[in-house]
């Protein structure tokens, strides 16, 4: 018998709120309960200054729901809100680095990161995923620039170049991987908690699109999105991978920032079209990664030009070369330009991306070349992170 919202609410009445008189339901802390394909999603609203210490309450609520009959899983998030006019707790002051009157500013030699590049390798406070050597985000400042198509063909290009590759569809609101890779069905559960990734063309794949229907709207607040992303990353049996490609949500909102701050990303690939409006948004994405110490591996110019199939004449529909000029301006690698090509669109719609369906074709070669440059940039960033720092006093 399918689980109901009423049954979930009744179970949650057994969860007390520490420091408050009553359970989380009677106190009005539970959001609307959303159920899709036997997975239960909801959030618990708590005082902003109590969020950290109430994490055990969240875990207890999640465990209680997961143990219900006919429930396949649960995603529970804490939502910390503050009343109008209430200031959040002030961040503790950061201690200044020790300095002496005679010590010059430390200099790094040799093999220092190029100007504007963030350090690679494991970053403090970011917990890695066992078995995964490098995690690469594919991002864009806005939607509609072909980010997901680029992400899946990049992953297939890395695979074609001899690496073990997985792809995580982190675009919760508009998951694309089930359609782009022609995958249907539900992931298997390995041990009652860990999901087995789906597989196609040699890629290991996980997406919210496997867990909810294609037409099901994901009307979620930020904390619930972050919890879902965390589970799809850390509660999936990825095995040994050289690279996990993460198809990020478009934009620079809470989900993107949290992923960049909490996941040990080895680097990010920015996707843009050539026109100025798209490049403005691409800059925002690039600057977001730099601010959270994630190396930008490079920029891809998608829909760069169009070759008319009947005449062979080239048209620069959205302009041309804007992404390359931007890459040169900000000092990052230009990874390549991908044409506006019907074959790329058709193979993507058919669930057979061009790198997999026409591996020797001209468009597959473009993506493989981009993948090779990404691999080179990853190796370079890794070498920089492993180079010892020499400080002259």
Q: Where does the pLDDT of residue 113 fall: very low under 50, low under 70, confident under 90, or very high at 90 and above?
A: very low
pLDDT of 237 reads 94
Spell out the domain ranges in the chain. Answer: 5-81, 132-386
DSSP state of 331: T
Q: What is the pLDDT of residues 55-67, one digit of tens each?
A: 889 889 989 999 9
pLDDT in the model for residue 277 = 66
What integer pLDDT is reported at residue 218 of this predicted model? 63
Cβ atoms of 384 and 113 closer than 8 Å: yes
pLDDT in the model for residue 320: 85
* CATH node for 132-386: 3.40.50.300
- The whole-chain average pLDDT of the chain stands at 80
Query: Is the pTM value of this prediction over 0.85?
Result: no
Task: Provide the pLDDT for residue 142.
Answer: 75
What pLDDT sits at residue 260? 77
Q: Token pair of 66, please? A: 């997961």
Number of other residues whose CB lies within 10 A of the CB of residue 81: 11
Concatenating the DSSP letter of every residue in 159-188 gives HHTT--EEEEE--SSS--HHHHTT--S-PP
> Which of 69-73, 226-230, 326-330 has the least mean pLDDT?
226-230
Q: What share of the chain is helix, strand, coil (3-state, %, to 5)?
A: 35, 20, 50
Helical spans, DSSP H, in 126-269: 147-160, 177-180, 222-234, 254-262
Count of residues in the chain: 393
**Alpha-carbon dihedral of residues 70, 73, 78, 79, nearest 10 degrees?**
-80
Kindly tell me if the per-residue pLDDT of 91 is higher than 80. Answer: no
pLDDT above 80 for 374: yes
DSSP character string of 67-88: TSTT--EEEEEEEEE--TTPPP
Return the structure tokens found at 65: 């729901």
pLDDT, mean of residues 163-191: 89
Tell me the β-bridge partners of 167: 205, 245
CA distances (Å), origin 315, targets 83, 309, 323, 338: 54, 11, 17, 13
CA dist 359 → 119, 180, 258, 321, 366 (Å): 34, 16, 35, 26, 10
Average pLDDT score over residue span 15-40 = 83
Identify the band that residue 203 occupies on the pLDDT scale cut at 50, 70 and 90.
Answer: very high
Question: Measured between alpha carbons, how far is 141 from 139 in angstroms, rounded to an integer?
Answer: 7
In this predicted structure, what is the pLDDT of residue 79? Answer: 67
* CATH class entry, domain 5-81: alpha beta
* pLDDT band (50, 70, 90) for residue 83: very low
pLDDT at 41 over 90: no
- Span of 159-173, 233-247, 281-295 with lowest mean pLDDT: 281-295
* pLDDT tens digits, 299-328: 999 999 988 888 888 888 888 888 899 899
- Residue 101: the pLDDT is 34
């Amino acid at each position: 018998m399918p689980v109901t919202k009423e049954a979930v609410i009744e179970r949650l009445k057994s969860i007390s709120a520490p420091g408050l008189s009553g359970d989380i339901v009677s106190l009005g802390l539970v959001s609307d309960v959303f159920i899709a394909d036997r997975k239960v999603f909801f959030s618990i609203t708590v005082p902003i200054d109590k969020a950290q210490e109430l994490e055990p309450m969240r875990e207890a609520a999640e465990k209680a729901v997961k143990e219900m009959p006919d429930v396949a899983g649960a995603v529970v998030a804490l939502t910390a809100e503050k009343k109008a006019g209430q200031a959040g707790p002030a961040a503790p002051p950061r201690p200044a680095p020790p300095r002496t009157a005679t010590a010059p500013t430390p200099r790094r030699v040799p093999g220092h990161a190029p100007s504007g590049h963030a350090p690679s390798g494991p970053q403090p406070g970011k917990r890695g995923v066992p078995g995964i050597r490098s995690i690469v985000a594919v991002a864009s400042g806005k939607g509609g620039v072909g980010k997901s198509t680029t992400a899946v063909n990049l992953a297939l290009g890395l695979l074609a170049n001899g690496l073990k590759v997985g792809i995580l569809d982190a675009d919760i609101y508009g998951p694309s991987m089930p359609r782009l890779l022609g995958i249907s069905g539900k992931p298997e559960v390995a041990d009652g908690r860990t999901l087995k990734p789906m597989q196609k063309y040699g890629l290991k794949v996980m997406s919210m699109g496997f867990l909810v229907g294609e037409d099901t709207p994901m009307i979620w607040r930020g904390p619930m999105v972050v919890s879902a992303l965390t589970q799809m990353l850390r509660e999936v049996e990825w095995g040994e991978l050289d690279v996990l490609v993460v198809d990020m949500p478009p934009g620079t909102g809470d989900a993107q920032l949290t992923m960049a701050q909490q996941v040990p990303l080895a680097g990010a690939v920015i996707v843009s079209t050539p026109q100025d409006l798209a490049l403005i948004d691409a800059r925002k994405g690039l600057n977001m990664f730099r601010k959270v110490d994630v190396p930008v591996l490079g920029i891809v110019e998608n829909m760069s030009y169009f070759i008319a199939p009947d005449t062979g004449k080239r048209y620069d529909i959205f302009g041309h070369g804007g992404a390359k000029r931007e890459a040169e301006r900000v000092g990052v690698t230009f990874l390549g330009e991908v044409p506006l090509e019907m074959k790329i669109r058709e193979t993507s719609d058919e669930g057979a991306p061009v790198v997999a369906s026409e591996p020797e074709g001209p468009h597959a070669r473009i993506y493989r070349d981009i993948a090779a440059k990404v691999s080179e940039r990853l190796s370079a960033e890794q070498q920089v992170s492993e180079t010892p720092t020499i400080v002259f006093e």
